[in-house]
């Protein structure tokens, strides 16, 4: 059988890494099959001695070689995972990525078919770009079927299709060719290849502006406007706000005080490119300032620890009236050097440098000049021995997992936090010596960043991922 080259490059997400390292922090890989022997080739070329590769080969074997060559005992489908990390000289992980794909070792030797395709990106037109795909599969017969996945949620059939993309981006396009067996009793011959297709030439005039309007909770007759126009930013475009009361502003985001309560039509114009202008309008309702009764105002303290750094605490409030001013004081209740820390700001963040007991006090002033004062005690322990784990897949859609390596059997406790460090899930399971997989079902959670905190004995580890 001729060599089968399959390149799977899933660029559906963007890692947050330094621009100079972006091309060198990908776990994508290609592979070639010769009989039952597979040669794995990482997409990153010329990685340094500070790079780390870990291959889970689908048959229980694990390799830390850069480009392992593996002979499988029998034909079949093997789920192969490649984990790639880049470290600095101190051993700190700068970036990490993982890719999991099925590798098929064909059982039949009658199929001399190899999947491949080329493509050409046409000039943009009417805010879209069309790509022509040319099937370059070897030994392709007229009776063979061709199935295409265009990487944007759509599919197609045919030998040489065309597809139109409405937005710029990198799409993982896959071609699967299928040949029926010549005799009964054999499975169909299926070959597949994926390639990244970059769309970068769509005119930004096709991007529609958008904004969010929020009446100010603290200043009467005032509204806050946030420009949420996609792709663009204040560095590449300019904006003009028309507030509906005869006034305008040219900042990217805006705050505006209206002369009286009422309903106003607000318009946002975004200028970019050469003579490219897009606008959008919406209404905002400005209500009469409400009267605040101080005896009905409720303010409570909230103290949340960051899962990845337990000595870092986020202070906030729950309240039924807008707060205009906060004063937080943090005082050690023991120790020789009693140093009081004061924050005159809303929702401060404080990192404690020493364990112990602390008295935390809040003085809050709400709308209507109501003053609320309260105190509470906070216990801060010694900073745990932290470690970082890799979550996979990342980004995740329905399930996310981490591997926890143990040197002795013990209980593993995993807690899932959202971006506000609020617990949204937990798992406890008994762990054996070696790698233990801990998984969360996240299908019902909203999209956004999350943190998994793993506790095993006296160690605390964490992993970050994004929910699509």
Please, how many CA atoms are within 13 Å of residue 147, restricted to the half-sphere of its CB?
Answer: 7
Are 251 and 356 part of one and the same domain? Answer: no
**Distant-in-sequence, close-in-space partners of 4: CB < 8 Å, separation ≥ 6:** 32, 33, 114, 115, 191
Say whether pLDDT at 232 is over 50: no
Final residue before a domain boundary, out of 286, 320, 339: 286
**Distant-in-sequence, close-in-space partners of 248: CB < 8 Å, separation ≥ 6:** 240, 241, 242
Give the SS3 label for residue 35: coil
In the block, which residue shows the tokens 């192969």?
Answer: 80
CA distance 209 to 269: 7
Are 310 and 365 part of one and the same domain? Answer: yes
Final residue before a domain boundary, out of 380, 396, 419: 380
Are 143 and 32 part of one and the same domain? Answer: yes
Are the beta carbons of 380 and 356 closer than 8 angstroms? yes
CA distance 193 to 71: 21
pLDDT given at position 447: 85
Beta strands 248-249 and 238-242: pairing type? Answer: antiparallel
**CATH number of the domain within which 308 lies:** 2.60.40.10
- CA distances to 168, 190, 231, 237, 270 from 207, rounded to whole Å, are 10, 40, 8, 12, 10
Q: Decide which of 152 and 11 is more confident.
A: 152
pLDDT given at position 431: 87
Q: And the tokens for 404?
A: 């926890």
Mean pLDDT of 234-263: 87
Q: Name the nearest CA neighbour of 384 among 449, 453, 444, 290.
A: 453
Domain span at residue 333? 294-380
CA distance 246 to 391: 52
Mean pLDDT of 2-27: 39
Are 349 and 447 part of one and the same domain? Answer: no
| pLDDT-above-70 percentage for the chain | 86
CA distance 81 to 56: 5
Mean pLDDT of 195-203: 80
pTM above 0.85, yes or no: no
Are 17 and 166 part of one and the same domain? Answer: yes
Mean pLDDT of 209-227: 84
Are 77 and 220 part of one and the same domain? Answer: no
Q: pLDDT band at 45, cuts 50/70/90?
A: low
Q: pLDDT band at 257, cuts 50/70/90?
A: very high
Are 225 and 305 part of one and the same domain? Answer: no
Q: And the tokens for 250?
A: 């040219």
| pLDDT-above-90 percentage for the chain | 25
Are 13 and 145 part of one and the same domain? Answer: yes
Q: And the tokens for 348?
A: 């401060």
Rg (CA), the chain: 29
CA distance 155 to 151: 8
Final residue before a domain boundary, out of 157, 184, 199: 199
pLDDT given at position 324: 84
Residue by residue, DSSP assigns 189-248 as EEEEEEEEEEE--S-GGGPPP-EEEEE-SSSTTEEEEEE--SS--TTT-EEEEE-SSS-E
CA distance 38 to 75: 11
Q: pLDDT band at 135, cuts 50/70/90?
A: very high
Say whether pLDDT at 1 is over 80: no
CA distance 115 to 140: 8
Mean pLDDT of 435-441: 90
pLDDT given at position 204: 57
**CATH number of the domain within which 401 lies:** 2.60.40.2550
Are the beta carbons of 384 and 459 closer than 8 angstroms? yes
Number of structural domains (the chain) is: 4
Say whether pLDDT at 6 is over 50: no
């Amino acid at each position: 059988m001729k060599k089968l080259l399959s390149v799977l490059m899933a660029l559906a997400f963007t890692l947050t890494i330094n621009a100079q390292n972006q091309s060198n922090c990908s776990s994508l890989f290609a592979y070639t099959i010769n009989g039952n022997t597979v040669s794995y080739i990482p997409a990153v070329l010329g990685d340094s001695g500070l790079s780390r590769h870990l291959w889970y080969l689908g048959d229980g074997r694990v390799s830390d070689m850069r480009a392992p060559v593996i002979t499988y005992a029998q034909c079949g489908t093997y789920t192969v995972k490649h984990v790639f990390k880049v470290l600095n000289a101190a051993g700190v992980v700068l970036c990490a990525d993982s890719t999991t794909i099925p590798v098929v070792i064909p059982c039949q030797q009658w199929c001399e078919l190899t999947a491949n395709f080329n493509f050409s990106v046409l000039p943009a037109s009417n805010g879209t770009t069309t790509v022509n795909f040319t099937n370059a599969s070897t030994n392709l017969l007229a009776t063979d079927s061709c199935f295409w996945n265009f990487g944007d949620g759509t599919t197609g059939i045919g030998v040489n299709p065309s597809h139109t993309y409405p937005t710029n981006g990198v799409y993982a396009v896959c071609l699967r060719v299928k040949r029926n067996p010549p005799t009964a009793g054999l499975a169909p011959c299926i070959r597949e290849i994926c390639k990244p297709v970059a769309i970068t030439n769509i005119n930004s005039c096709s991007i529609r502006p958008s904004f969010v309007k929020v009446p100010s909770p603290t200043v009467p007759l005032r509204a806050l406007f946030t420009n949420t126009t996609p792709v663009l930013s204040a560095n590449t475009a300019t904006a003009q706000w028309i507030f509906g009361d005869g006034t305008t502003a040219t900042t990217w985001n805006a705050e505006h005080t209206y002369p009286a309560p009422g309903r106003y039509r607000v318009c946002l114009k975004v200028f970019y490119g050469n003579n490219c202008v897009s606008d959008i309008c919406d209404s905002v309702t400005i209500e009469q300032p409400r009267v605040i009764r101080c005896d009905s105002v409720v303010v409570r303290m909230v103290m949340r620890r960051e899962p990845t750094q337990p000595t870092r605490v986020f202070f906030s409030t729950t309240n039924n009236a807008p707060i205009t001013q906060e004063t937080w004081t943090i005082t050690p209740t023991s120790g020789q050097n009693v140093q009081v820390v004061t924050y005159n700001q809303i929702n401060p963040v404080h990192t404690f440098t020493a364990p112990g007991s602390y008295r935390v006090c809040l003085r809050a002033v709400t709308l209507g000049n109501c003053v609320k004062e309260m105190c509470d005690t906070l216990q801060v322990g010694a900073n745990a021995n932290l470690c970082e784990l890799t979550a996979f897949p990342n980004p995740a859609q329905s399930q996310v997992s981490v591997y926890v390596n143990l040197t002795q059997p013990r209980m593993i406790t995993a807690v899932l936090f959202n971006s506000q460090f609020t617990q949204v899930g937990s798992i406890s399971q008994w762990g054996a010596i070696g790698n233990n997989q801990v998984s969360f079902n996240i299908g019902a959670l909203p999209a956004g960043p999350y943190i998994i905190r793993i506790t095993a004995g006296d160690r605390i580890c964490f992993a970050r991922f994004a929910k699509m």
